[in-house]
Structures are given as structure tokens and as C-alpha cells.
Structure 1
């Protein structure tokens, strides 16, 4: 009985509750009650659509990963702007990145991270989830791109998930 009253996706519930409070532009008794009801009800209704919960082996590494991502987005934004404004032609390349990650959520986070960083886009994941196709706007070599993705993003994700 208590299992049905629990929050099956606590992070989603927290996000839903917080979003509801921002949409209501303040705290009131009614908005808190409605926010809690929605934060409980929506995950209950959508529970069948969610895959198994991701198991973070080291969740305390998530803030450092997010900080690195924000820094890389800012640095890459300036690099892309400099490249576009310079007379030098970019050297675009498609790279087949060999994945070491196995968890579907970790692969999704890696692909999203690559796409969020200006100048790179993850274009496809192979059906066997062993290769990620990445397009870069400007790269010296394929190995340089592979090494950078592995060291900056995949290795920390592997530490978080395994």
C-alpha cells in the first residue's frame, strides 16, 4: 500500500513541484497542495513509460560534470565565433566514436553533451550501441576528437555510472 503512495521518480517529482511553483508565481497553500498532487500523480501515470532507474555509482560527481559542461559550452562558443569571423576555412569531419559506455541513459547523456557543445553534433548511434557518429565543425584529426570526447566526457560518465 505504501509503495503506491511513494514517488516513483523523485527527481521528476521535485522538478514538477518546483516548476509548478514558478508557474504560480509564488507560494500559497493551494499551489503547494496542487504542486504536490501533480508531483505525485504525473510520475504515477507515466511509470510504465520509464525504463529502469539509472543507478549512479557516484552521484557526487554530477555537479563537477555539469560545471565542466557549462565551461566547455562557453569556451566552445567563443572558439566557434572566432572560427566564423576568421578568414581560415573550417575543417569539418565526421568521426565514428567507439563507445565504452553501456547504459542507455549514459549514452544519451554523452550524445546530448556533444550536441550541446557548439561546433559538435552527435548524428547517430549504431543499433548495437557501440559507435556514436559525431560531426565536428573544425578538427585537426579524428583521433584528436576521439581522445577529447573520451577524456572530457565519457570517462567521467563511466565513473558516475559504473
Structure 2
């Protein structure tokens, strides 16, 4: 039989998150009133309760060796993509071929998938749109698709492979 957690721990599963939610709520409010403070405290209690139920997968970290290179690759891709998107937007509209593509995923760790979707979305000209229910495919919108297979292989090589080392 597992021991029951105390009531205070059940109400506040993540006290730092509670404090953070309250602080962000108060910072985003344009004024301070008793009602806003009460609503902030209510959010600070409720949000961590739901977050604790949603986050059932813990982030297992493999190796951090690929992180520096991955950061450099991502920053470089963001820079190059900014220039490319500006060139495309300022150019002739007929030369832009937007498309949605499904990328098959080898990575299974939800935290690694979240990092992958963030990197794709941070890179101008691409947006992660959906993850299949079985987490095996990622739908990505591309501003200008020239070669689908090349784009998929680049995303898998540049982002997914290092993330699979970080999040096994």
C-alpha cells in the first residue's frame, strides 16, 4: 500500500510553479486589486494541479554532448532562414510554393519531440502544425517547398538525430 500524501502536498504539488503563476499573473495585469490577486492565487493553485496530471513522462537525459553543436546549427539555420524568407517575401510571389508535409519521426521521447517542434517553429519559413496521435509523424508547414525528401532528411539529420542522443 502506498502512503497517502499530506493534504498540503496534494493541493500544492509544485510550490515554485504556484508562485511563478501568481507572479506572472500579477505582472500581466495592468492594475492591482483584491480581485486580481485572488484570481492570481486561484490560478496558482489550479494550474499546477492540472500540470501535474498532464506531465506523466519524465525527461530522461542521455548525453549533453550534442547540445553545443545543436545550438550552433539551430542559430545558423535561424539566421540563414531569416535571409531566405526575406528574399522570398520581397521576390515574386509565383516563386513561393507553400506546402504541408508529414515528417516521419524516429524520436519517441515526448520532450525530444517538443524540442524538435520548437526548433522547427523557431526557424523562419517552417512551422510545426500537428503531431499524430501515435507520435510517429509531425505535420510541418513550409513557406517554400522545393524538395520534400531533402527537407525531411535535413530535419532528421540536423535536429532529430542529436535530439535522440539527448533524449533517448
TM-score, length basis structure 2: 0.66
Instruction: State whether residues 107 and 113 of structure 2, in contact with CA within 8 Å, keep that contact through their aligned partners in structure 1.
Output: yes
Q: Determine the structure 2 residue equivalent to 1:30.
A: none
Distance in 2, Cα, partners of 1:75 & 1:51: 37
Q: 2:80 aligns with which of 75, 78, 81?
A: 75
Instruction: State whether residues 111 and 167 of structure 2, in contact with CA within 8 Å, keep that contact through their aligned partners in structure 1.
Output: no
Q: Do structure 1's residue 141 and structure 2's residue 153 form an aligned pair?
A: no
Distance in 2, Cα, partners of 1:126 & 1:55: 22
How far off its partner does 1:53 sit? 3.1
Instruction: State whether residues 128 and 138 of structure 2, in contact with CA within 8 Å, keep that contact through their aligned partners in structure 1.
Output: yes
SS at match of 2:106: coil
How far off its partner does 1:129 sit? 0.4
State how 1:72-151 maps to structure 2 within 5 Å: 72-87=77-92, 89-151=95-157
Q: Determine the structure 2 residue equivalent to 1:65.
A: 70
Bigger Cα displacement from structure 2, 118-127 vs 132-141: 132-141
Q: Which has the larger radius of gyration?
A: 2
Q: Determine the structure 2 residue equivalent to 1:26.
A: none
Q: Do structure 1's residue 152 and structure 2's residue 158 form an aligned pair?
A: yes
How far off its partner does 1:158 sit? 0.9
Q: Do structure 1's residue 54 and structure 2's residue 30 form an aligned pair?
A: no
Aligned alpha-carbon RMSD (Å): 2.7
Instruction: State whether residues 95 and 142 of structure 1, in contact with CA within 8 Å, keep that contact through their aligned partners in structure 2.
Output: yes
Gaps of 5+ in 1: 17-44
Distance in 2, Cα, partners of 1:111 & 1:48: 22
Instruction: State whether residues 93 and 142 of structure 1, in contact with CA within 8 Å, keep that contact through their aligned partners in structure 2.
Output: no
How far off its partner does 1:48 sit? 3.2
The superposition leaves residues 13-64 of structure 1 with CA deviations (integer Å, 9 ceiling, x where unpaired) of 9xx8xxxxxxxxxxxxxxxxxxxxxxxxxxxx77835444312111232232
